[in-house]
């Protein structure tokens, strides 16, 4: 059901993905703690390339007619969760940023008074 | 003991009004009042004008928005042991002659917060535009429904608070729609809130459809924030 050509192509893409993740960890741009999630995505991709029959079962189980629809749905869902998570993180950082700016303003005012 | 009173004036691009506003406080004869302007990253000449006129201000490194700017003032008041804080707009909308009426209930311990109100009596002849008035009515009714307490001028930014609330606000103050949300929050936390008549001036004339739409958007957002409000997140005390 999945041609050898396609399998090789997907494998190359996945390997490239792993390469990117490991490079980021090595460079320190990705903390080990959050790398677990990204590695998990990679492993999931490998599993699906190795055992595509699994997808057929899930698709029929939830009532989705074609595998491509299931994959698209899954990908969109994963990205949505990710975007939501990033949005939350961004807001937490924004709050910290505001607090810092407020304190800097007050400290600057104190310093100017002493001059 | 004499109470230490501070007026907080947030200012964002107020080069045209800020000197007049601060001078009205400096020249106020009946009471000596400290003030601090919070320059919220203005991109016009607000800062230059203030330096030329010897106005005391905190200079925020970039624009934080009205809520965070006002909170900076509350933090400053908390660190400098002020007993009473008055919020005062930088655009000249608020009348300093109403300030004593605002301070009195807070200084006497009759209320934890006093709100300068356009609607409680005839002190103010300016009552805001129609679309804004409708929005204020709806928000006021919602707060009444949820807290059983009535605040008529629920979006008024002319307010006086005591030390307890200074501490709460220094620690936690909403960045968006701060006035109606904090009014509701304080009621829910059991603080005494009192409305007193205060004079306000009109900012600018003209009604546009865009403004009506903006009012509706504002009203919807505030109502949602009030409905989803979590008092646990608002508990005071500087960490």
How far is it, in rounded angstroms, from Cα B100 to Cα A44?
68
Question: From A98, which residue of chain B is nearest by alpha-carbon distance?
Answer: B64
Other C-beta atoms lying within 10 Å of the C-beta of residue A52: 15
User: Testing the interface with A: which of B6, B12, B40, B68 to mutate, by most A Cβ within 10 A?
Assistant: B68
| Pick from B229, B215, B128, B219: nearest CA to B184 | B229
**Does the complex come out with an ipTM higher than 0.95?**
no
Query: If pLDDT is split at 50, 70 and 90, which confidence band does B202 have?
Result: confident
Q: How far is CA B29 from CA B8, B26, B84, in A?
A: 19, 8, 19
Residue B198 is assigned to a structural domain of this protein = yes
The mean-pLDDT minimum among A70-74, A99-103, B204-208 falls in B204-208
Supply the CATH number for residue B117's domain.
Answer: 3.90.550.10
pTM for this model (two decimals):
0.85
Total tally of structural domains belonging to chain B: 1
Cβ-defined contact of B59 to A109 (cutoff 8 Å): yes
Cβ-defined contact of A103 to B68 (cutoff 8 Å): no
Question: How far is the alpha carbon of B179 from chain A, nearest alpha carbon, in Å?
Answer: 19
Q: What is the average pLDDT across B51-72? A: 95
The mean-pLDDT minimum among A25-29, A42-46, A83-87, B118-122 falls in B118-122
**Does the pLDDT of residue A45 top 80, yes or no?**
yes
Which pLDDT tens digit goes with each residue over B8-42? Answer: 999 999 998 899 999 999 999 888 899 999 999 99
Ranges A22-26, B29-33, B84-88, B131-135, most confident: B84-88
Residue B239 is assigned to a structural domain of this protein = no
Average pLDDT, chain A: 91
Strand partners, B161: B85, B113
Question: How far is the alpha carbon of A91 from chain B, nearest alpha carbon, in Å?
Answer: 12
Instruction: Give the pLDDT score at B203.
Output: 65
How far is it, in rounded angstroms, from Cα A1 to Cα B104?
82
Question: From B60, which residue of chain A is nearest by alpha-carbon distance?
Answer: A105
B4: left (phi over 0), alpha (psi -120 to 50) or beta: beta
The better pLDDT of the pair B2, A9 is held by A9
How far is it, in rounded angstroms, from Cα B181 to Cα B99?
23
Question: How far is the alpha carbon of B229 from chain A, nearest alpha carbon, in Å?
Answer: 17
What is the arrangement of strands in the sheet containing B193-197, beginning at the earlier edge strand?
A: B57-59, B34-39, B5-11, B84-87, B159-162, B113-117, B193-197
How far is it, in rounded angstroms, from Cα B102 to Cα B107?
9
Instruction: Give, as one character, the DSSP assignment of residue B17.
Output: T
Q: Which residues form the domain of B165?
A: 5-234
Residue B222 is assigned to a structural domain of this protein = yes
Cβ-defined contact of B60 to A106 (cutoff 8 Å): no
The better pLDDT of the pair B126, B89 is held by B89
Residue B111 is assigned to a structural domain of this protein = yes
């Amino acid at each position: 059901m999945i041609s050898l050509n396609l399998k090789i192509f997907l494998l190359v893409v996945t390997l490239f993905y792993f390469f990117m993740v490991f490079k980021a960890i090595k460079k320190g741009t990705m903390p080990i703690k959050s790398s677990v999630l990204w590695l998990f995505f990679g492993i999931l991709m490998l599993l699906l390339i190795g055992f595509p029959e699994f997808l057929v079962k899930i698709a029929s189980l939830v009532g989705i007619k074609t595998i491509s629809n299931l994959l698209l749905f899954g990908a969109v869902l994963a990205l949505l969760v990710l975007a939501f998570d990033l949005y939350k993180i961004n807001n937490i950082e924004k709050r910290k940023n505001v607090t810092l700016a407020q304190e800097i303003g007050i400290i600057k005012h104190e310093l100017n008074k002493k001059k | 003991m004499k109470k230490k009173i501070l007026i907080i004036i947030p200012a964002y691009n107020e080069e045209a009004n800020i000197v007049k506003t601060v001078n009205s406080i400096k020249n106020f004869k009946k009471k000596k009042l400290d003030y601090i302007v919070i320059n919220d990253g203005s991109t016009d000449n607000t800062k230059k004008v203030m330096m030329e006129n010897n106005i005391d201000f905190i200079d925020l490194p970039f624009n934080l928005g009205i809520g965070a700017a006002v909170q900076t003032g509350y933090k400053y008041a908390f660190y400098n042991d002020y007993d009473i804080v008055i919020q005062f707009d930088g655009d000249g909308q608020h009348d300093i002659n109403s300030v004593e009426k605002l301070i009195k209930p807070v200084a006497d311990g009759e209320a934890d917060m006093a709100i300068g109100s356009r609607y409680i009596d005839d002190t103010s002849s300016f009552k805001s535009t129609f679309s804004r008035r409708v929005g204020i009515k709806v928000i006021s009714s919602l707060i009444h429904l949820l807290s059983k307490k009535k605040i008529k001028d629920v979006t008024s930014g002319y307010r006086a608070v005591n030390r307890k609330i200074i501490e709460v606000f220094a620690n936690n103050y909403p960045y968006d729609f701060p006035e109606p949300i904090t009014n509701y929050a304080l009621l829910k936390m059991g603080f005494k809130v009192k409305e007193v008549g205060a004079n306000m001036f009109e900012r600018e004339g003209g009604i546009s459809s865009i403004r009506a739409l903006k009012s509706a958007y504002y009203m919807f957002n505030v109502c949602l924030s009030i409905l989803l409000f979590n008092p646990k997140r608002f508990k005071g005390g500087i960490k």
